[in-house]
Amino acid sequence: MDKIKLSRMQFFGNHGVFAEENKLGQRFYVDVELAVPLDKPGLSDHIDDTINYAHVFFKVKEIVEGRTYKLIEALAENIASELLGTYTSIHEVTVRVIKPHPPFPVVFDGVTVEINRKRAN
């Protein structure tokens, strides 16, 4: 299946288990891979035959910045569900949510949650 990938989209959100995370917020990165047939737009060169990735960006932004989640797992699930519900041409979606600076007293390069969801037939 063909794919459209939006990589390292950056948003500011208030997600986390700790009250400080919900109050202060932090930066999150989101990657989205959309499995969608691209033969028609490849031949037509017309925006209406594909998924407008600018619209996808703003849909994800609305989800990440619009409400607070305790778990980035729930955030990823909501993104996947909304994209599958909004764009009927998507057969499968992979969502990665990266929390680059979790509030732990250890040093590592962030936490990533990755989920993959398929359209129910």
pLDDT tens column, 81-112:
999 999 999 999 999 999 988 777 767 778 89
> CA-to-CA distance for 94 and 25, rounded, in angstroms?
24
Catalytic-role residue among 23, 40, 61, 99: 99
- Supply the pLDDT for residue 9: 98
29-80, pLDDT tens digit by residue?
999 999 999 999 999 999 999 999 999 999 999 999 999 999 999 999 999 9
- Supply the pLDDT for residue 87: 96
> CA-to-CA distance for 103 and 87, rounded, in angstroms?
35
Tokens found for residue 33 = 């891979």
- Indicate if the alpha-carbon torsion angle 61, 66, 72, 77 is positive or negative: negative
Three-state DSSP class for residue 94: strand
**Is 59 noted as a catalytic residue in this protein?**
no
> CA-to-CA distance for 94 and 121, rounded, in angstroms?
18
- Supply the pLDDT for residue 21: 84
Q: Furthest-apart CA pair in the chain: how many Å?
A: 53
Structural domains of the chain, ranges and CATH numbers in brackets? 3-118 (3.30.1130.10)
